């Protein structure tokens, strides 16, 4: 069952508070206060109080004044004024100054209270939803901005390079030089291709639904072993894989592969060129419903002050090799979908270790 809605009632008459609590405590979590400091204490302790009832006639401050006072500090809870008599002046005041959602007349009827709470709760939920959606929208906008900037550089960059090369080629007669340039052109095009593929990953991670199935890590990593064999042979990097899976594991293959692929390709890419014993290690252990994936390398490492930013979209912590700035951001998005966690440890010029934990579904 969902948690009970929290409501607060402020009234200087103890009898009213007792009666109120007795009526509603089965269906709601009721907090009561006999004065304003008491009410504030509840509000501080329980920021998720959704509805506040307050008596209008109190010593020190009126109900409207109390609501007015907390308007900026506690804007979220819905406010309901309880009053024995009303003149139009008080009504106008309470709406304009106190931002009141409803009035309840004293003495109250139980049904009236409940309907007021339920209505207020609907408003509260709609408002909270709006705030969440708004935040999501802000995030989407800011990513869109970054996207537009990155697209104009990361896509236009290689293209303008290729165009420049074609221009230069018109006055080039040396075949060796031409071949050197073709090699560099190919490199630029591959970088562009990687960028576009990662952009697709980005999109499918943001919008796609999960498809859960049985995961056999042994089988999955065999694929990677084949892919990276080429890498490890040509660059003389030892690739060690160690899988320890004795229980079934359920998850989505696509984001899992994406995580592994990104971490492994980084581990192979950012190797220390002067190191004689280059190593990439992949350890996967499945235990008590949690898969722990550790990818470590003997690479160039990441400077401490860049570590906090490597999971940001389009952030690149190295000028070595062709990063797109998508990789680790996509890893993070994939882990968000799988309820997973990632940790990173890195020592400059020694190597980097990523540790990923993913629970089974």
Q: Contact residues for another protein (CB under 8 A)?
A: 149, 152-153, 156-165, 167-168, 171-172, 180-181, 184-185, 187-188, 316-319, 323, 325
Query: Which of residues 73 and 319 has its CB atom nearest to another protein in the complex?
Result: 319
> In this structure, is the dihedral angle defined by the CA atoms of residues 211, 216, 221 and 227, taken in order, positive or negative?
negative
How far is 244 from 74, CA to CA, in rounded Å? 52
Minimum distance between the CB of residue 228 and another protein, rounded to whole angstroms? 24
CB 354 to another protein: min, Å: 19
Q: Which of 222, 19, 305 is nearest to 30 (CA)?
A: 19
CB of 153 to another protein, least distance (A): 4
Vertex 40 angle, CA 129 and 60, to 5°: 125
Pick between residue 120 and residue 310 the one whose CB is nearest to another protein: 310
- The CB-of-276 to another protein minimum distance in angstroms stands at 23
Rounded Cα gap, residues 229 and 115, in angstroms: 68
CA 129, distance to chain mean position in Å, is 16
For the bound state, the minimum distance from the C-beta of residue 182 to another protein, rounded and expressed in Å, comes to 10
Which residue lies nearer to another protein by CB, 122 or 187?
Answer: 187
End-to-end Cα spacing for the chain: 22
Q: How far is the CB of 160 from another protein (least distance, A)?
A: 5
Q: How far is the CB of 328 from another protein (least distance, A)?
A: 13
Q: Which is nearer to another protein, 188 or 253 (CB)?
A: 188
Between 244 and 349, whose beta carbon lies closer to another protein?
349
- Whether the Cβ atoms of residue 314 and residue 199 lie closer than 8 Å to each other: no
Nearer to another protein, 89 or 171 (CB): 171
Nearer to another protein, 168 or 347 (CB): 168
* Spatial CA neighbour of 311 closest among 293, 331, 294: 331
Distance, in Å, from the CA atom of 184 to the CA atom of 291, rounded to the nearest integer, reads 41
Q: Least distance (Å) from another protein to the CB of residue 313?
A: 13
Q: Where does the chain show beta strands of DSSP type E?
A: 6-10, 29-33, 51-55, 78-83, 102-105, 212-214, 237-245, 250-252, 278-287, 290-297, 341-347, 351-359
Beta carbon nearer to another protein, 124 or 326? 326
Question: How would DSSP label each residue in 178-210?
Answer: HHHHHHHHHHHHHHHHHHHHHHHHHHHHHHPPP
Residue with Cβ nearer another protein (162 or 279): 162
Q: Is 325 or 340 the residue whose CB approaches another protein more closely?
A: 325
Can you tell me the distance from the alpha carbon of 226 to that of 239, in angstroms, rounded to the nearest whole number? 11
| Burial classification of residue 335, based on how many CB atoms lie within 10 Å of its CB (0-12 exposed, 13-18 middle, 19 or more buried) | buried
Q: Supply the minimum distance, in Å, between the C-beta of residue 188 and another protein.
A: 5
**Smallest separation (angstroms) from another protein to the CB of 346:** 15
**Residue 339 carries which DSSP code?**
T
Give dist(CA 21, CA 3) in Å, integer: 17
Cβ atoms 67, 79 nearer than 8 A: yes
């Amino acid at each position: 069952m969902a948690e009970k809605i929290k409501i607060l009632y402020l009234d200087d008459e103890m009898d009213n508070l007792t009666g109120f609590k007795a009526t509603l405590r089965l269906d709601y979590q009721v907090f009561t206060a006999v004065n304003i400091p008491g009410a504030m204490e509840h509000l501080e302790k329980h920021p998720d109080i959704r509805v506040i009832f307050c008596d209008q006639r109190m010593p020190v401050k009126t109900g409207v004044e109390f609501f007015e006072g907390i308007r900026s500090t506690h804007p979220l809870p819905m406010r309901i004024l309880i009053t024995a008599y009303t003149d139009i002046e008080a009504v106008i005041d309470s709406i304009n100054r106190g931002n009141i959602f409803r009035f309840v007349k004293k003495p109250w009827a139980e049904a009236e209270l409940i309907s007021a709470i339920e209505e207020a709760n609907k408003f509260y939920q709609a408002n909270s939803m709006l705030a969440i959606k708004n935040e999501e929208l802000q995030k989407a906008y800011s990513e869109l901005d970054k996207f537009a900037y990155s697209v104009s550089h990361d896509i236009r960059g290689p293209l303008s390079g290729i165009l420049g090369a074609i221009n230069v080629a018109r006055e080039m007669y040396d075949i060796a030089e031409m071949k050197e340039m073709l090699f560099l052109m190919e490199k630029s095009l591959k970088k562009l291709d990687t960028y576009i593929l990662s952009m697709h990953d980005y999109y499918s991670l943001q919008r796609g639904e999960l498809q859960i199935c049985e995961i056999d890590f042994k089988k999955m990593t065999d694929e990677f072993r084949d892919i990276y064999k080429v890498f490890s042979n040509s660059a003389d990097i030892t690739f060690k894989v160690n899988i320890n899976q004795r229980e079934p594991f359920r998850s989505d293959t696509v984001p899992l592969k994406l995580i592994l692929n990104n971490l492994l390709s980084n581990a192979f890419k950012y190797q220390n060129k002067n190191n004689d014993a280059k190593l990439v290690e992949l350890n996967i252990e499945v235990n008590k419903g949690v898969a722990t994936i550790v990818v470590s390398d003997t690479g160039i490492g990441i400077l401490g002050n860049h570590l906090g930013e490597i999971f940001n979209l389009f952030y690149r912590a190295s000028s070595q090799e062709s990063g797109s700035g998508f990789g680790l951001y996509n890893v993070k998005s994939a882990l968000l979908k799988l309820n997973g966690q990632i940790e990173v440890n890195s020592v400059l010029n020694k190597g980097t270790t990523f540790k990923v934990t993913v629970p089974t579904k």
